[in-house]
């Protein structure tokens, strides 16, 4: 029986893979990277900061500046435009002080979906926390981890781990895409017998018909 949420998950995966590719080049700045901003003559705007999941940084006085997906030289132009409102003819240098250890993406029913730079031993539950936690109607019993290194997709019951009924809380690897699906309401169950491929009990959902 086909799963109704598959097209939505497939679309989400395509979107996040494109996003990950945009950030993946080694010569560009990505989420989780620590960058060093130098504004000559303005010590209060000079310092280090970490690029967030949306590709932005916060510069004292000047405010938020988007540098994700740009080279350090391109980022310097963006920062220079931002600080020019407060510093006359600013000279800006942007350097990547430290690349993020791993880049993973989380999509679906979370509060802050997107790419995240994480440590080498970051777990699935920790990533969910970085993404602001589960959103309304999130189904933590069917969390998908899509690997980009050729390993098969995993389906994890994270709710069971949270409730202490499971030890499955895998460590994420660079390039992993995590999808938190939406919980589908059920109104009961039916038991199918006879000339069918799979005899058994199935969840009954609103609007479902016999051929579903």
Per-residue pLDDT tens over the stretch 30-60: 888 889 999 998 889 999 988 887 889 999 9
pLDDT in tens, 128-147: 998 999 998 899 999 999 99
DSSP-assigned states of every residue in 65-98: EE-TTS-HHHHHHHHHHHHTTTSSS--EEEEEEE
- In sign, the C-alpha dihedral spanning 63, 69, 75, 78 is negative
Asked whether residue 21 carries a pLDDT value surpassing 80, the answer given is no
Structure tokens at 145: 């981890």
Structure tokens at 20: 């990950």
Between the alpha carbon of residue 71 and those of residues 28, 67, 184, 203, the distances in Å are: 4, 8, 43, 50
Segment 15-42 shows an average pLDDT of: 71
pLDDT in tens, 95-140: 999 887 778 999 999 999 998 888 778 899 999 998 999 998 899 9
Compute and round to an integer the Cα radius of gyration of the chain.
22
What is the spatial distance between Cα 135 and Cα 176, in angstroms, rounded to a whole number? 20
Percentage of the chain lying above the pLDDT 70 cut:
75
Q: Are 114 and 54 within 8 A, CB to CB?
A: yes
Cα distance from N-terminal residue to C-terminal residue, the chain? 6
Say what the alpha-carbon torsion angle 64, 67, 69, 74 is, to the nearest 10 degrees.
Answer: 160
Q: Are 84 and 24 within 8 A, CB to CB?
A: no
What is the spatial distance between Cα 114 and Cα 152, in angstroms, rounded to a whole number? 22
């Amino acid at each position: 029986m086909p799963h109704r949420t598959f097209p939505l998950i497939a679309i989400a995966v395509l979107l996040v893979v494109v996003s990950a590719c945009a950030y993946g080049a080694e010569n560009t700045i990505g989420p989780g990277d620590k960058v060093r901003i130098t504004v000559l003559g303005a010590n209060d705007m000079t310092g280090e900061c970490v690029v967030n999941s949306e590709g932005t940084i916060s510069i004292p006085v000047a405010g938020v500046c988007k540098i994700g997906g740009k080279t350090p030289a391109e980022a310097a132009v963006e920062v220079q435009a931002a600080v020019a409102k407060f510093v006359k003819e600013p000279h800006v240098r942007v350097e990547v002080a430290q690349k993020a250890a791993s880049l993973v993406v989380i999509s679906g029913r979370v509060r802050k979906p997107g790419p995240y730079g994480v440590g080498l031993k970051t777990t699935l539950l920790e990533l969910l926390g970085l993404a602001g936690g589960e959103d309304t109607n999130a189904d933590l019993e069917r969390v998908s981890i899509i690997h980009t290194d050729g390993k098969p997709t995993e389906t994890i019951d994270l709710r069971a781990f949270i409730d202490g009924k499971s030890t499955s809380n895998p460590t994420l690897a660079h390039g992993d895409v995590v999808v938190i699906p939406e919980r589908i309401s059920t109104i009961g169950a039916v038991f199918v017998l006879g000339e069918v491929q799979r005899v058994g009990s199935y969840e009954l959902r609103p609007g479902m018909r016999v051929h579903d």
